[in-house]
Chains A and B, each alone.
Chain A
Amino acid sequence: MSEDVVRMQVNPETCIAGGQCELLAPDVFEIDDDEVIAVVQGDGRLDRKVALEVIDRCPSGAISIVEPDEAAGGG
């Protein structure tokens, strides 16, 4: 994975399904209407710059970057 692309994850415990992420990066985030939380689409890859902005704008702090060791562990 290139330096500037990261993988995103959403903490289902803290996500409040406000949908800011979906607004900013619709290819990666979608509000699942049944689960009522944001879910990551596909492999969740996002440009690092956009990723940081989405993380900042998530009002519940639910979004984070998957760290390489978590990814290796299958997370």
Chain B
Amino acid sequence: MAAEGPPPPVDLRDPAVFAQGIPHDLFAELRATPGLHWSPQHDGDRGFWSVTRLAEVVEVSRDPATYSSEVGHIQMYDIEEDCLAARASMIDLDPPVHTRLRRLVSSAFTPRHVQGYREAIRRRVRATLDRLEVDGGGDWVDLVAAPIPIGVICDLMGVPEADHGYLIELSDHLVAGTSSEPLPADAYGNTTDLRLLPFNSPAASAMSAYADAHAARLRERPGDDLSSQLLAAEIDGEALSPEEFANFFRLMIFAGNETTRSAMSHLAMHARAFPDAFGAVAADRELLGALAEEIVRYSSPILYFRRTVTRATELGGTTLAAGDKVVMWYASANFDDAAFDAPLEFRVDRPPTPIHSAFGGGGAHFCLGASLARLELVELLDEMFDRGLELDHGTPTHVDSNFVNGIEHLPVTVTRSSDHRSTP
């Protein structure tokens, strides 16, 4: 074990630290101290270093040979060796295996390719906003932020509409695995040892069971969706095992859903908090992309991912030993004033680089769905501006988690600005 650094002033494992969103003052303090902070050993883990500055998040992210996703676990708590393999999907694997898995699906997610989903996304956006407008408001998360991303990713994965609600529910429970009140071990009839399940959650086994049934359906009648493509794919002459397919499926559903929902939830709060930025974009839609990017940076839906050090190295002035854990706090790096001018200001005129790290710090694992997420946000914003929607909201309920910056409920009221009173 390397020399210990100063401990952070609070225990960063405690979901309460994030109960009101990103603890900006705390992170600013951590960023300002040279070196890395050390959170000492604790019940569920052997201790970890906190990486809080953008430059170092990028350094770690781009060097998977030194900072592994496969050795150890990418969330904060440790899990035993035998469990890692059972739960592994591409996000917990290193190149070259990671590369082979990712290449099975990556061409569906390029900026050029996702343009093909634009119309379908827009239809989903319209349907959700219609429903919200009819009632003059409601829970923004339930009515808008949740259904759009799950609908889009389920379409891609060939999941029928009727099952979207069930998958939202399961994916919510996965996140609950990072909270202070996880599901009981036998929920959803689970009999699998929780250690073997992602997020240690019984909902993960329910999602795998769904994936198995989905695979069986698609083997009978393949479609032109990504699931069918995965089932037909071969790596070195071998098809994915049922377990590999289920892990892949679960990753896609979770990653494509929870994160984008969170950004869309924050979007509704940003609209009220930063009317000048939103007004500027309503008037000049060329700025939609910049606004979407700022929403993602500012909401930082995933607070962190962890890596395990594979060989002695140095990071930000701190010496690291093989086996050390480093936690990359994206939610801190995205407000690093060494990288972003006035980082707490919400701006649509930021230069295109440096890229924030809400989609990861770059390198092999950089968010596969980044272009899709950006497009979903752009379509939602564009439609809101077309309708002249004005949102007001009540008190948000934050997801209880040290891992995601999610919003569980957000009561909103909607009206149209005076020049948009007639239906479009």
Contacts and interface: CB of A to CB of B under 8 A. Distances in A.
Contacts of B113: 19
A53 B362 CA distance: 15
Interface in A1-48: 13-14, 16-20, 22-23, 31, 33, 36
Contacts of B55: none
Contacts, number: 61
A61 B107 contact: no
Contact of A19 (B102, B112, B352, B353): B112
B107 A33 contact: yes
B58 to A, nearest CB: 9
A38 to B, nearest CB: 9
Interface stretch (B71-79, B163-171, B363-371): B363-371
B107 A18 contact: no
Nearest to B103: A36
B112 A31 contact: yes
A23 B352 CA distance: 13
Nearest to B102: A16
Contacts of A59: 355, 359-360, 362-363, 366, 370
Contacts of A13: 95
Interface residues of B, number: 24
A35 to B, nearest CB: 9
Interface residues of A, number: 18
Interface in A30-75: 31, 33, 36, 53, 56-57, 59-61
B110 interface: yes
B126 interface: no
A20 B364 contact: no
Contacts of A53: 352-353
21 contacts: A14-B363, A14-B364, A16-B363, A16-B366, A17-B106, A17-B107, A17-B110, A18-B109, A18-B110, A31-B110, A33-B107, A36-B106, A57-B353, A59-B359, A59-B366, A59-B370, A60-B62, A60-B364, A60-B366, A61-B362, A61-B363
Given A16-B366, A19-B113, A23-B112, 7 more contacts: A18-B109, A18-B110, A19-B111, A33-B107, A53-B353, A59-B355, A61-B362
